Amino acid sequence: MASHTLFTAVSSSARQLLQLLRCIAFNNKAHVRISPDGLRITTEESSIMEAFVFLEKSLFASYTYNQPLPPSSQDDPPDPPHFQISLNSLLETLNIFTLSDPNATKRPGDVDAFAAHRLGRHAGINAFTSHALGTCTFSYDGEGDPLSIHMSESGVTTTCDLTTYDPISSEEIPFSRDSIALKTIMRASSLLEAISELSSLNPSSLTIVASAMSSANPTLSLSASGALGSANIDFTTSTPSDTPILETYQCPCKTTASFKFSLLKSAQRAMQAATKVSLRLDDEGVLNLQFLVEVDAPGGIGHTFVEFRVVPLVEGEAEMDGNGSDSSGEL
C-alpha cells in the first residue's frame, strides 16, 4: 500500500465522463493508465479489436499526479500506474446521479422528491454540459489500492471504491501510421447511418472498398450481405453540398478490406457522440477509427478522441462466416 496519494482529479461533470466511457463499453474489463497528462482507458475484444479514450488533464477542473516513489534512492522511478478495473462498475458509479428510471416518469405520484429534483435539474441539458452534475473526484494511492470515486450534488454525496487488478499483459494491435493505404475524414453521423442501415441485413461481415484518387470519381464503398439480402453504400468526394460527407480523401490505389460486422457495431456509441471520424486503413488492412468528440472543459469547449482499431478478416474468412460480399492528426 502506498503512503501517499499518487493521483487525484476533480471533474465538474460525471455525466460527460459517463458518455465518453460508454463509447468503449463493449467489454466489462478496462485497463487504466495514469500519467501526468491524463487518463488512458482501454478495452479490447479477443485481440481483434481494441478501443481507448484519453481523458486529458485539461478536461478536469483539477488534476494532480505525483510520481510513484522508487523503492530506494538508488532505483529509477517506477512506471506510471497501470491496472485493470470493472468498467461496468465504473459506469454504474458515474450513473448514480443521472436521471432516474424513465419508467418513474410514467407514474408521477410515485416519483420521490429527490428524483423530481433531478428530473427538473437535468431537463433539456445536453449530455456534454458541464453543469449537468456536481463534482466527481477520483483518487488512487498506489498498487493494491482501490480507485476511489467521491461524488457530490446538492448536498448528496457518495463514495465508491473500485477494486483494482493486476493488468493482463497484452500488446496493442499494431497500426502503421507511416504506411497508410486509405485515409478519409467524414461526418460521424454519416458513418452511423450507414452502419445502422446495413445492420438490418444481419450481416456477419462488412467490406470496405476505396477507389484510387486518380479515378474519375473516387468512392468509399461499404457493402454487406446477409440472409435478408445485400446492400452497398457509397460515399463520393464530389458533391454539390458546401459540406461534403468526405472532407478529405487519400487513397493512392484501390484498397479492399473486410471486417467482422459485430465489431463495427460496437463503435456505434462513439459514432453517436462524435462530430467527425477519421477512417484509415494501413497496408496490412488494419482499420483505425478515430472519433472527434466535443466536450465541455474548464474555460470553454474542448475535444477528445475515442479510437478503435480492428483487425481485418483473412481471405476467405468472410465467406466462411456466411457473407457473400466480395472480399477479393490525426483529425
- Mean pLDDT, rounded, of the chain: 83
Higher pLDDT pick, 116 / 322:
322
Contact (CB, 8 A) for 263 and 318: no
Instruction: Quick: pLDDT tens for 111-131.
Output: 343 343 333 334 333 334 444
Whether 92 has a pLDDT exceeding 50, the answer reads yes
- For position 241, what pLDDT does the model report? 67
Choose which CATH entry (3.70.10.10, 3.40.50.720, 3.10.450.50, 3.40.50.970) describes domain 180-320.
3.70.10.10
Question: Which residues have CB under 8 Å from 250's CB, separation 6+?
Answer: 180, 182, 183, 184, 213
Whether 109 has a pLDDT exceeding 50, the answer reads no
- For position 229, what pLDDT does the model report? 86
Q: Return the HEC string of 281-312.
A: EECCCCEEEEEEEEEEECCEEEEEEEEEEECC
CA distances from 24 to 38, 87, 109 (A): 17, 9, 37
- For position 326, what pLDDT does the model report? 39
Locate 139 and state its grid cell: 483518487
Find the mean pLDDT for residues 226-253: 85
Using pLDDT thresholds of 50, 70 and 90, give the confidence band for residue 259: very high
- For position 90, what pLDDT does the model report? 95
CA distances from 227 to 87, 223, 230 (A): 34, 14, 8
Contact (CB, 8 A) for 100 and 119: yes
Sign, Cα dihedral of 208, 209, 213, 217: negative
- For position 111, what pLDDT does the model report? 37
Higher pLDDT pick, 101 / 232:
232
CATH 3.70.10.10 applies to domain 7-162: yes
DSSP-assigned states of every residue in 43-87: EEETTTEEEEEEEEGGGSSEEEE-PPPPSSTTSPPPPPPEEEEEH
User: What is the torsion angle, in degrees rounded to the nearest 10, for the CA atoms of residue 189, residue 192, residue 193 and residue 198?
Assistant: 170
Higher pLDDT pick, 126 / 149:
149
- For position 106, what pLDDT does the model report? 37
Least confident of 87-91, 131-135, 136-140, 271-275: 131-135
**Identical topology for domains 7-162 and 180-320:** yes
CA distances from 2 to 52, 145, 164 (A): 27, 8, 14
Whether 284 has a pLDDT exceeding 50, the answer reads yes
Measured distance CA(242)–CA(276) in Å, rounded: 16
Whether 293 has a pLDDT exceeding 50, the answer reads yes
Find the mean pLDDT for residues 301-307: 90
Using pLDDT thresholds of 50, 70 and 90, give the confidence band for residue 321: low
Q: Is 53 exposed, middle or buried (0-12, 13-18, 19+ CB in 10 A)?
A: buried
What is the model's pTM? 0.82
CA atoms within 13 A on the CB side of 318: 27
Residue spans of the domains in the chain: they are 7-162, 180-320
> For residue 88, what is the enclosing H or E element?
helix 87-94
- For position 100, what pLDDT does the model report? 39
**Cβ count within 10 A of residue 163:** 12
Alpha helices in 223-289 (DSSP H): 261-265, 268-273
Find the mean pLDDT for residues 213-239: 88
Measured distance CA(70)–CA(311) in Å, rounded: 38
- For position 119, what pLDDT does the model report? 37
Place of cell 461496468: 88
Sign, Cα dihedral of 304, 299, 37, 88: negative
Using pLDDT thresholds of 50, 70 and 90, give the confidence band for residue 237: confident
Place of cell 472532407: 247
Q: Which of the 8 DSSP states describes residue 279?
A: E
